[in-house]
Structure 1
Amino acid sequence: MTGFDIAGMIRAFSVGLLPVLFAITLHEVAHGWAARAFGDRTAEMLGRLSLNPLKHVDPVGTVVVPIAVYVLSSGSFLFGWAKPVPIGTRNLHHPKRDMVWVALAGPASNLLMGVGWALVYQLAAMGAFGQSALAVFLAGMGKIGVFFNALLAVFNLIPLPPLDGGRVLRGLVPESIGKGLDAVEPFGLIIIVVLLSVGVIWPVVGPAIQITQALMYSLAGAGGA
């Protein structure tokens, strides 16, 4: 098939695998850490504060969707998610207020990881790893790490449940509006897919991801990639 470089796709997939696994794993673990700090130990008791990616694998979001998206985009795009960490909202000291911080912990972890990957890219670009295949590999890994963490941070802040932005909004609005958001939540992902398919979300999310990547590179002292 013309334009379908399987070997190249496999190489690119191997470069992106570690950054993607770290991004989705630490995103969920960060929610659990924040919840524990505010009084809920549900995730801890279920063993979900582990950094082992296998503890957080979602068959659809971590396996099927990433592979399907990667193949259908001919290796130009990768997306996925981990199994959500369970949060016992009632166990939080101040459920409504604390849930805002628990929700923000996920995107915040992606911002920090993005800066870390930008630093990896910067070091590789400066020759810290020599002019070797390892340097090229780490530079590519850094670029993917920055992009994917920016993508997760921005996308998850869309103010629609069950995304983190929806949880934040739920904690900030009056209860009457919050109940409306609760009613929407079971259909939230379907709504997001529809909005993406008709081109409503990406014109906003796309530039936000670019700005976030630029910020990550800037904080790492890199000029961008």
Structure 2
Amino acid sequence: MFDNIHIATILVTYVAVLFALSVHEAAHAAAAYYLEDDTAARLGRMTLNPLAHIDPLGTLILPLLGMISGIRVLGWAKPVPVNPGRLTRKYPMRVGYAMVAAAGPASNLLQSLVFLVILAMLIRVVGPGNPGLRLNWFFASMQTPVERFMEVPGMGAGSALAITLLGRLVMINIGLAIFNLLPFGPLDGAGILRGFLPYHMLPTFDRIQPTITIVLLVCFLVLPVVITTILSPFFFVADAFYITPLARLLLGA
């Protein structure tokens, strides 16, 4: 049953998940602190230490089960507490909250850009001279098992681990940004959208959010294919207009 489990791949992928989630939550806390709400900071959540952000189900159980089973599952961390009443009055309360909500996905997009550039530069240094093969390495780093990379002639274990970790960081951060920008339930997209909806729509919007939260959780636990289907078009756009063009430019392909 466990013959096909790739331990190195699971470890590398899980490190990437933990880091991406930790930065995401720390960004929420930092944005709230910048807007004068120090609730999260006082509770020790304005940190990159993953132990401060771990949610048993979303950070431990689901991601690890997904990696072992091969099913694509996005995780989540413990939500950062925000007290809208303590946010600066320079902005309307709901706009300030929307800014805090937007900080998480924004941090993931920034991470994806930074790690994409580093990955491309590393491949140019240790990868093949052929630009087309470099591009193949780039995309393989996001999904190919680490153990396969270690089998490449002349590839050291350190290079294989670095390339695959960077590739996972790119893809996981893009996935987290896209997922969290969906305007549903507890996701950041709902908080962002709520900050700019007409006031007369807010009661209806708030009333349906608990139901949407339950539906999302059921999909995560029972029907992950529904989440994948919803996200697929957004991944296609991200790949077509962001990942591939930038990778080709940096790799000379």
CA deviations on 1:169-211 (whole Å, 9 max, x unpaired) are: 1111123322222222223332235667396654442131243
Residue in 2 that maps onto 1:176: 200
Given that 2:16 and 2:168 are in contact with CA atoms closer than 8 Å, whether structure 1 keeps it comes out as yes
The answer on 1:68 being equivalent to 2:94 is: no
Name the aligned partner's letter for residue 86 of structure 2: N
**Match for residue 31 of structure 1 among 17, 28, 31:** 28
Q: How far apart in 1 are the matches of 2:46 and 2:118? A: 25
Residue in 2 that maps onto 1:99: 97
Given that 1:28 and 1:82 are in contact with CA atoms closer than 8 Å, whether structure 2 keeps it comes out as yes
**Match for residue 86 of structure 1 among 62, 81, 84:** 81
SS in structure 2 opposite 1:178? Answer: helix
Given that 1:154 and 1:205 are in contact with CA atoms closer than 8 Å, whether structure 2 keeps it comes out as yes
The answer on 1:5 being equivalent to 2:4 is: yes
Residue in 1 that maps onto 2:214: 190
Query: 1:22, CA displacement in angstroms?
Result: 1.1
Name the aligned partner's letter for residue 195 of structure 2: G
The answer on 1:57 being equivalent to 2:59 is: no
The answer on 1:109 being equivalent to 2:107 is: yes
Query: 1:219, CA displacement in angstroms?
Result: 4.9
**1:136-155 pair list within 5 angstroms:** 136-155=160-179
TM-score, reference length from structure 1 = 0.86
Residue in 1 that maps onto 2:142: none
Q: How far apart in 1 are the matches of 2:224 and 2:116? A: 32
Q: How far apart in 2 are the matches of 1:101 and 1:218? A: 29
Q: How far apart in 2 are the matches of 1:18 and 1:201? A: 23
Change (3 A) 1:218 1:53: farther
TM-score, reference length from structure 2 = 0.77
Given that 1:56 and 1:83 are in contact with CA atoms closer than 8 Å, whether structure 2 keeps it comes out as yes
SS in structure 2 opposite 1:81? Answer: coil
Residue in 1 that maps onto 2:37: 40
Residue in 2 that maps onto 1:77: 72
Q: How far apart in 2 are the matches of 1:99 and 1:26? A: 18
Query: 1:37, CA displacement in angstroms?
Result: 1.3
Query: 1:12, CA displacement in angstroms?
Result: 0.7
Change (3 A) 1:188 1:107: same
Change (3 A) 1:193 1:59: closer
- Unaligned stretches of 5+ residues in structure 2: 128-153
What is the root-mean-square deviation of aligned Cα atoms in Å? 2.7
The answer on 1:164 being equivalent to 2:188 is: yes
Given that 2:10 and 2:68 are in contact with CA atoms closer than 8 Å, whether structure 1 keeps it comes out as no
- Unaligned stretches of 5+ residues in structure 1: none
**Match for residue 235 of structure 2 among 173, 197, 209:** 209
Given that 1:147 and 1:213 are in contact with CA atoms closer than 8 Å, whether structure 2 keeps it comes out as no
Change (3 A) 1:201 1:133: closer
Change (3 A) 1:170 1:77: same
Q: How far apart in 2 are the matches of 1:198 and 1:154? A: 16
